[in-house]
Structure 1
Amino acid sequence: MSSNSHQKELSLAVREELLHTLKTRFEKNMNRHKGLEWVKVQTKLEANATKLWSLHEMEITGGEPDIVDYDQKTDEYIFYDCSAESPKGRRSVCYDREGLESRKEHKPENNAMDMASAMGITLLTEDQYSGLQKLGRFDTKSSSWIKTPADIRKLGGALFAEYRYESMFVYHNGAQSYYAIRGFRGSLSI
């Protein structure tokens, strides 16, 4: 994450560069958001500096955020991390703070839940991750922590997902585990 993570507003130059990147990705991947118009998206983004800052955090950590849905009821565009593999700037992390603190040695620097919160995003749920996999193939060489139900987490476990053998798999690990190829994908509604 950026060194100015306490300041949730981007400079004009960074904002313009991010908007250009998002527009280019939006136009290149119309299959993810059929029927949506970039002009309307950009208007919403420009009106919400904090959410734009969160998208920048998603971008600089390797998430390649893109719109995957539009909620007509709430008039919100939904962004997911759409990088081919789990975002590189968010790997080698435990699931949450409790998992991190339970490690006796070889602790990673951070955990997925705290990082997501600091970025202003939420981890994808199993249903959201499944929806993402309908838009392409993601995590064919990596895996991503996903939001874990409270009853599983209470017992010390956490869920992650990946795509192998032409299928999506959801697995479990102890929340304290971490791997170089496992990160997390986030969601942001604007």
Structure 2
Amino acid sequence: MGLNPKSPALVLASTSPRRRELLGRIGLEPARIAAPEIDETPLKGELPRDYVARLARGKALAVARAPDEVVLAGDTTVAVGRRILGKPADEGDLRRMLALLSGRRHHVWSGVCVVGTDERPRVRVVDTIVAFKALSAAEIDWYVETGEGMGKAGGYAIQGRAETFVRFLSGSHSNVVGLPLFETRALLTSAGIALG
């Protein structure tokens, strides 16, 4: 499965290897990858849903697009209530996040934006509910020592060792990894990307 020869070229506005791997699951390889430069600081009082939608749209529009290209951008964050958990600043921050997630449910929000050849941004927001088991101090220490949670929203990677902490998940698993494939496929199809 691949791109139809008449299909527009796909530009992935993300340097995330996870997003590229996820696109590969639906048979897509970006024609090029671009790193969007935008400020990712949440606005005062901004809800997680609005935050990921704004960032996905901003990233997609920040990338230069040729007339025959379609740009795909995404943003994923972890939220406990209205509180947005970004990427941990250091190991202490990672420990704080894991302690906050321990034994409770949280939301993983993703915004996906596709800008097609018609220049119209199409945005979808996806919410997945995840519940962690109660984590012991030893389990938190073990996970921090793996280094896996650094650079990840919410301080964990569900596709890695942290999956052993998940006792419940409702919604899209690929969303928690970093790109909800059902919604992404629909957006790309609507923008003229041919998928088998």
Q: Same fold (TM over 0.5)?
A: no
TM-score by length of 1: 0.28
TM-score by length of 2: 0.27
